[in-house]
Structure 1
Amino acid sequence: MITVENLSKTFPGKSSPVVALRDVSLDIDAGSLFGVVGPAASGKSTLARCLALQERPDRGVVRLDGVNTAALEGRRLREVRRQLAVVDPRTPLHAERTVAGNVAAPLERLGVAGPQRRSRVGTLLDLVGLTARATQQPTELTPGQRRRVEVARALAAAPAVLLADDPTGGVSPEEAGAVLTVLDRARAELGVTVVLATRDPGVVRRVCDGVAVLEQGTLVESGTVLGLLTDPGSAAARALLPAIDTPAAQVAGYDRVVDVVLVGFAAVGALLPEAATRFGVEVATIGGGLTRIGDTPVARFRLGLRGERADGAVAWVVEQGGRVTHQVRGPQAVVAA
């Protein structure tokens, strides 16, 4: 487990210090794929560097499996750092080496014997789907393929934690999915804890178990992705779920208008039609949309309901696990609790 306690970090500025992190505290479970999401200058890259022990915080502690990394020095610090690997697009591949040679470079520095080194390189190239590219030069690869080689290189020394700063930056949308799949495979097949920093909510939607939302160096919230999304007022829900924009004229004719978050195949596919049938009301989707969190479908809809039992239908949806925010519209409208 990674535990961050009251982490603060500032950098010198032209007229005054720039605060990158303000008292950030969070927990990251071992073996998870955890996303740190926020806009530019939110502090996510600084947090990633602090977790990788590349930056020392001004205050606060980073604990790795209970070990206070701030107290480490010398040999013990080097040993812990070897358990941490970083995928950073700003660290390019060696142009003069082949793909396999780039992945082997960290193993060569550690003095790993040739047969063992070749076996490890082969395993990692298979993991990232580039076995057929082993003898090519980095210049012969697409940006997405180069990023996957960077992931394989970072995994060469079998780290316990992999930190990826903007892993899909500079990669086309078509290739970004392959990069994220590789990070997910590293977690699933190698047992590596993966922490990725990104400004793209789509990255978190696709692969992350947990998420921390940063704004201007401050932790807005953190937790499991699905747990946060069931709170319609959460920052994660605002960032990750489909936006709702419904003209006032479109909702005027309904007895009740509500926003609802539904999680899972059964809820998304069957809950609303069953509510309509059970209570004899019309249920229309007038805004929002459907997305996926990993393999789980999640919907945020604006619903318009017509019928005398509209309130009962809404209450039943809540009983079945839907998270509903009531809107003050229509003759039956009341303010939600």
Structure 2
Amino acid sequence: MITVENISKSFASTGAPVVALRDVSLAVGAGSLYGVVGSASAGKSTLARCVALQERPDRGVVRYDGLNTTALEGRRLRDARRQLAVVDSRLQPERTVAGNVAAPLERTGVEGPQRRNKVGSLLDLVGLSKRAAQLPAELTEGQRRRVAIARALAVQPSVLLADDPTHGVEPDDAGSVLTVLDRARAELGATVLLTTQDAGTARRICDEVALLERGVVVESGNVLGLLGKPGSKIADELLPSVETSRSEMGRYDRTVDTVLIGFAAVGALLPEAAGRFDVELATIGGGLTRFGDTPVARFRLGVRGQRADAALAWIAEHGASVSHPLYGLHNVAA
């Protein structure tokens, strides 16, 4: 388990110091896939370097399984770093795909037959077995990222750190990169910590997520658990947008926003409530998406009927989040 406790980090500049992190705390469970979401200037890369033990925070502590790594020096620091690997997208251009993956094994003295077997299994994991003899220049950017992940996994780390692994990668290729990170967690048992500017990345593969803004964690927690939380910034980033015209909303007795999680809720909860309470529940905005294998819907509902309040209360009692929309620019079209 990785525990980040109130770390702060600043860098000298010609004027006042630039503060990259302010009292950041995270708890990354063993075997989880944790995403840190934020803009390019949010402090994600600085956080990743601190967790990777490449930067020392000015204040605070980074712990691995309870061990305070902040004060480690020399051999003890090197031993701690062996638990983790950082995905470095810079490949050796003169070496083949297989040669790049083999490089860390060569440095640690793994013998030929064992090294070849290991490289083969890693290339199979990242879906590039047929590209083993090619050079990096012959690959797409997404394929090169997958090679970099395979190389990082060669040392069998317990923790894998990926800083913006899909940045600059075409959407189709980006999906393959994320699949590989998920397989590293599922099949190799690695704890994966990734940073990303794209909230969609967190939606596709992350168990837990933190939103970083100007060096501060403004929200964190289990992804599915945050979706129905009123006022959640992460939920607003991850869920389908909802826009409805005032005239459309005016056709109903009331309008509400609801978040439905899981196959049963998405498929049956609203029709059952409509029939049980003899009300009309019309979807007038929002949409459906997936978080991993779990379907999630955010709908704006137009409601008609004398037992509307009872129907909405019943929906909420059965696990849906129900809230009244705010009449702002993001919610109501002119």
CA contact (8 A) 1:87 1:154 kept: yes
Aligned position for 1:64: 64
State whether structure 2 residue 38 is matched by structure 1 residue 38: yes
Match of 1:288 in 2: 286
Aligned length: 327
Correspondence list, 1:119-138, <5 A:
119-138=117-136
Q: Corresponding residue for 1:179?
A: 177
Report deviation, 1:14: 3.1
C-alpha distance in 2 between matches for 1:194 and 1:328? 37
Secondary structure in 2 matching 1:179: helix
**Residues 145-194 of structure 1, C-alpha deviation per residue, up to 9 Å, x if partnerless?**
11100000011110110000111111100111100000000000000000
Displacement of 1:327: 4.5
Task: Please tell me whether the aligned partners of residues 256 and 327 of structure 1 are also in contact (alpha carbons under 8 angstroms).
Answer: no
RMSD of aligned Cα (Å)? 1.1
Task: Provide the C-alpha distance between the structure 2 equivalents of 1:54 and 1:204, rounded to a whole number of angstroms.
Answer: 24
CA distance in 2, matches of 1:38, 1:328: 25
In structure 2, the partner of 1:167 is 165
Distance in 2 between residues matched to 1:262 and 1:38, nearest whole Å:
26
Q: State the distance in 1 between where 2:194 and 2:233 align.
A: 18
**Shift, 1:86, TM fit:** 0.8
Contact 1:232 1:261 survives alignment (8 Å) = no
Find the residue that maps to 1:302 and give its secondary structure.
Answer: strand
Q: Aligned pair 1:149/2:147, yes or no?
A: yes
Q: CA deviation at 1:11?
A: 1.1
CA distance in structure 2 between the aligned counterparts of 1:261 and 1:45, rounded to whole angstroms: 32
- Residue 200 of structure 1 deviates from its aligned partner by 0.2
The match for 1:222 is 220
Report what 2:112 is aligned to. 114
What TM-score, normalized to structure 2?
0.96
Rate the CA distance shift 1:102–1:311 in 2: closer, same or farther, 3 A.
same
Q: Is the 8 A contact 1:283 1:305 kept in 2?
A: yes
- 2:22 partner letter: R
CA distance in 2, matches of 1:319, 1:251: 25
Equivalent of residue 193 in structure 2, options 192, 195, 204: 195
> Which deviations, in whole Å up to 9, do the C-alpha atoms of 1:318-337 show, x marking residues without a partner?
011111112489xxxxxxxx
Deviations 1:1-26 (A, max 9, x none): 00010010011233211111100111
Contact preservation (8 Å) 1:257, 1:328 = no
- Name the aligned partner's letter for residue 80 of structure 1: A
**Contact 1:88/1:167, CA 8 A, preserved across alignment:** no
* Gaps in structure 2 of 5+ consecutive residues: 328-334
- Offset, 1:79: 1.0
Match of 1:264 among 262, 265, 286: 262
Distance (whole Å) between structure 2 residues aligned to residue 66 and residue 268 of structure 1: 41
Residue 297 (structure 1) aligned with residue 295 (structure 2):
yes
Identity of counterpart residues, as a percentage? 71
**Per-residue deviation, residues 232-257 of structure 1 (Å, max 9, x unmatched):** 31111011011111111110121121
Deviations along 1:110-154, one digit per CA (max 9) or x if unpaired, are 111111111111110010011111111111111111110000001
Are 1:316 and 2:310 an aligned pair?
no
What is aligned with 2:50? 50
Moved over 2 A (4+): 326-329
Q: What amino acid sits opposite 1:18 in the alignment?
A: V
> Aligned residue for 2:87?
87
* Counterpart-to-counterpart distance in 1, 2:132 and 2:41: 37
Q: Aligned with 1:70: secondary structure?
A: coil
CA deviations 1:22-77 (Å, max 9, x no partner) are: 00111000000000001121111111111001111000000000100012111111
TM-score by length of 1: 0.95
Letter in 2 for 1:156: A
Choose 259-268 or 7-16, whichever is displaced more. Answer: 7-16
Secondary structure, in 3 states, of the residue corresponding to 2:237? helix
User: How much does 1:78 deviate?
Assistant: 0.4
- Secondary structure at the aligned position of 1:122 is classed as helix
Contact persistence 1:84–1:162 (CA under 8 A): yes
